[in-house]
Structure formats: C-alpha cells, structure tokens
Structure 1
C-alpha cells in the first residue's frame, strides 16, 4: 500500500528507516518527521527532502502510518498529547524497547492497528534485524507493509506471543553489544601478542563479518561450520577447548537471561496504569 508515513521523533532509528526508505525509492513527499528542535527539522528536511514539523498533532492528522520513535519513558506523554487526532484505519508502529502493545493501545484510546518493533543498531547501515509483533486489529496487508518497511534497513521476524519479544531483545536487539565486547577482548589479546591495534582490529572484525556471511549464506549447520575448521590437536581446537573449560554456554546464557530479566522489568515499568 502507498502510505503517508509520519515519524514522531527523529533520532537514530528514525534516521536509519527514513534513509532506507529514500534510498529504495520511497517518495519523500509521503514522509513527515517531527522534532521540537528547529536545527534538526532543517537538517532532516535538507538531507532527505521530507517535510519536517514541530507539531505532532498535525503530523498524525496527515498520516496513514505513524512510527513512534521516542524514548520509552516519553511514550505515554507523547501519545496522549496527540491522542485526539488518532483515527480508525491508521497504523501505529513503536520502536521503543519495553513498551508493550496493551499500553500503546490504551494510550491511543482508539481501535487501530498497532505493531511493536524491536530493531537493532546495524539498521543504520542497512544490516539490521527487527523483531515484530502486531495486535489483532493489524491486517495481513498491513503486516506485509511493515515487513517491507523494515526490509529497507535489514531483515525482520514476526512473533505471535508478546512474551517472546523479551527473547528477541536478548537475541538481536541487544546482541550487537555482545559482539562488540567480544571483539574488544580479541583485539586486546592481539595487541598483547605483539600486533598493533589497527591490524588486530582489521583481522578480528573481518573474520567476524566473514563468519556471519558463512552462517547466513552457506547451507550448513553452525556446528558443522565450526567443526570444519577445528582440526584435532590443532590451534583452533585449543581455543575452543579453552572456551568450553570456561563454561561458554553458561556465560552466554547468564548474559542473555539478565537481558531478558531487565526487558521484563522495563515492560512492568512502562505498563499502562
């Protein structure tokens, strides 16, 4: 469907989605952004050719799809500020972590399609992964449109149980930070072995990128890919055995469980009262 899309708040995620839309041919005249900052409105308008407004109410009035890109703690106040402009037939997409569908529905106070999205920061480079869930008023056509929208910044996966969004957060929303931390440790070790930092970074990061491409593009189980380069009594085996001795499965599970725990706490904090 062709839709007028309004972005309420134009932070990093809105920028990623808007740039992906423009790059893939979405008409700039069908995109609106809002910001209270005049400098940001001017910058977005000049960079992308979209219309920028200071008034959320006006943007919502003109939109078929409204993408809510404000911080979780601001979400209730922002929605309640334009709630009188919400109308049936619109669709609302939230990219705020921890704010559940039921809260958004209550604040909107109108029966409309609502989609909750958990994106991640690689979306800024068109390599993102977004977890999605929709309320019961969202049609298959609308869900297809949302999938197409997020394909412009990477890929996406739908879940049907909102409880699973906590797992989505731990697997994709937060996981780039895990990989960054692992890379930091690898680079630090490389420097300790005598390599300069730039060379260590290049070797480690390109290897991580290549490994990810092998997983996504080759039709082999991850376990087999690992075994293919783990020769008996070889160098790789010694590294992997060290990981196993340190309890890598428990380390990762503990970290992801801590992420899920915090995600659930945030959902309670931002629940509709």
Structure 2
C-alpha cells in the first residue's frame, strides 16, 4: 500500500482540511498520515476561530513520520504562518517524492487562513518544492495581483505565473460563472484544459482540499501528473454530485460515494 502524508489544518466539522484529506486517501486506496499545522473551530456556517500549532511541534510531527515511515507523496494544505512554512520547507528540502501544494488562503466563508506576511514565504519556500500547486481563482488573483474572469484569462494567468516561478500550476476555475467547471494545468511549457459539466449543488465544502489530496494519492500510485489531475477531477465531480446537507449551511462533498448505494432514504438531489 502507498503512504501519503497531509500537512494541513484540522476542520472540526470534518468536511475540509486534515479530515477531508484522510477520507480522500482512504477512498482512493492509499494509507493516510497527517501533520497538523492548525486547529480551527468551524462548522457549515463558517470559521469561528483558528489557533496555530507551534512550529516546533509541526517539526516534531514531520520528523516522527519521516524517521520511521516511507512517504510516497505529500499534500500541503493550510499553513498559516511564516515560521511553520520555513520548518516544512526545511524538512522537505531533500524529499524526492511528489508534493502537491494547495495554497489555502481564505475559507469559503471569507475567513483569512493565511497571514498576509506568510504569502510571500509560501511562494518562495514551498512552491519551488511542489510537483504542482493548486490555487483557485481568488488565490491566483491575490498572488498575481490581477482579476481573472474568463477561461482565456485563466490560461494567461496560469502561464505567466508558472513561467515566472518555473513551476507547475493547476488553476481551478470553480469560481467562474460558466457552463462547465474548467481547470487549467500548466506544466513543462504547455497548458492542459480539464472540463466537467458544472453541477448546481449547494454542498461543496472541502472541494479544494479533496482535489489536491486526490492528485497526491494518484501521484503516489504512480500516475502521471496529467492523469492524476484527470482522475482527481472526476473523483471530486462525483463527490460534489453526492454532497449532502450537514448542519445549517454548506455541507460537505461525499468522499465515499463509491461505497454507498442509493436508497429511498439517501437523497443526493
């Protein structure tokens, strides 16, 4: 069995963060491990509080894993402060396996999850180590300093940012007002368009975490980057299709939709 490590924050409602990552790993047949960088108090209505785990403890968690267990891929999610970013970069500097970086900056409800002074550290220290970085449109707009409102603008922004930093970028287009859900991958001098029919579903909490974790799982299984993105996008699309209500706000995607049978009781509409 392949082993995949997630380095991210905890979501007390279970729909995103560490919890979504581990569910995704299990659903895709890899063994999940975790290094927790922050603890959030959140539910389907939003994030109420965030407390960082100390960089010292983050480093201790990383050392515990790497000193004992083979790691076949790494996914990095919420890392909210500069010191933690530096610790992660130091620990991964000599790691040779695939790394998927999801630059989590703002929660779906608008709560900032990455301190402003840490954005530059993330771009300078973690992006160069990543096999692919997976921002959504608001995150790319923030990093690039310009608005993105069409698929053509997505292509230009992805190409410009990737070439400037000599990295691979998967720009997620879920925030666009369009018929299809379009993502753009730029790697090795070319961009690739991934499209699925846009699903009109309310319950989409944790989609970004789930996609990046699915990509990491497939990379660990030996799939190419392009194939990993293809399979991950299909997985997320179906997880959104079967998303369900939980609490009074935006519910989670269904990570284990493949293990559940539809019944009269289970309604995913």
Q: Max radius of gyration: which structure?
A: 1
Give the TM interval when normalised to the shorter protein: 0.3 to 0.5
**Length-normalised TM-score, structure 2:** 0.35
